[in-house]
Structure 1
Amino acid sequence: MSSAVRGAAVQLVKTIEKLPAERMKHMVSLKESQLERFKPVAGLEAGAHGSKQKPTLQEIKDIISRTSGPLGLQKEALKKVQEAFPQEQYTAEAIQEQTKSLNNILSNKYRDYYAVGDKLLKPQGNPAYYQRLMDEIEGKKKETFWTAMRTVVLGK
């Protein structure tokens, strides 16, 4: 891999590490999956492999390429599996575009460019609607069954 690609990947990894932790836990984290994807390109370690961590895509590819017929697969099936794996071709320009896009997201460029006014954020029929949603997501204020029923019945 060229030094330009490696340098661009190092810059992208540094930018990805600036991403905040996700508020809601998912099965797969965008931040972690992208770090796992670009750290090997940057020449950095891919992360500490614990005993219970799943194998990475690269490790699976290595296992398949080292063996002539893993798990009793026929050669034709093995060839189909290897062709199904994506072959990523990294260029310095493509990685720099990703870094630029990620920096735009981190700096809230589009939130500021497409500012939403109070007319949309606080509609006349239910002015506290979006604030209640955000409070629930952030865990600030839990809505009980009775307050939820009141909201459904009264609309506020």
Structure 2
Amino acid sequence: MSSTAVREAAVQLVKTLQKFPQERIKHLVSFRDSQLERFKPIAGLETTGTDSTKKPTLSDIKDIINRTSGPLGLQKDLLKKVQEALPQEQFTAQTIEEQNKSLNNIMSNKYKTYYDVGNKLYEPQGNPLYYKRLLDEIEGKTKETFFTALRTVVFGK
């Protein structure tokens, strides 16, 4: 496979990743952002948001380890183990296209509609409002007070 085919496939994957919605719950690392950071260099695109306070990327760490004989006072045998443990990513156009297809399936909720579970799972008989309360709490619509939480614990609803 040629490098242009890999680059074109990576460009398509980056375009799909840019359409991917932001996560509703903020985590330390965002899936979308980490994958964009991973595939933009392969696609030949510039990474955005390079400020001096940003944490070093995996490629920066690899570069530091490869340039020095013993960074940060690491012993040579430990350094060798670290270099062997670092992932060596070798992409082909086919693997990137498979990832793009998987990402499109996730974005279109293909498997949610294919394996529809119905209301039995979403509204269990024992506590039919359980998932609704969880989603409302996550989205910030309602705030559960101490007394409503106590009522839920005591009565189960």
Over the residues paired in the alignment, what is the CA RMSD in angstroms? 1.6
1:148 match = 149
Instruction: Indicate how the Cα distance of structure 1 residues 120 and 70 shifts in structure 2: closer, same or farther if over 3 A, else same.
Output: closer
* 1:74 CA drift (Å): 4.3
Structure 2 CA distance, aligned partners of 1:59 and 1:97? Answer: 27
How many residues align structurally? 156
CA distance in 1 between partners of 2:67 and 2:28 (Å): 30
Residues 71 and 129 of structure 1, relative CA distance in 2, 3 Å threshold: closer
Residue 111 of structure 2 is aligned to residue 110 of structure 1: yes
Which has the higher mean CA deviation after the structures are superposed, 60-69 or 15-24? Answer: 60-69
Taking structure 2 as the reference length, the TM-score comes to 0.91
Q: What SS does the aligned partner of 2:40 have?
A: helix
What's the TM-score, normalizing by structure 1? 0.92
Structure 1 alignment gaps of length 5 or more: none
Q: 2: distance between equivalents of 1:72 and 1:123?
A: 57
> Where does 1:13-92 land on structure 2 (aligned, <5 Å)?
13-92=14-93
**2-side partners of 1:123 and 1:64: how far apart?**
53
Q: 1:68 to 1:112 in 2, by over 3 A?
A: same
Moved over 6 A (4+): none
Deviations 1:120-145 (A, max 9, x none): 22222221111111111111111111
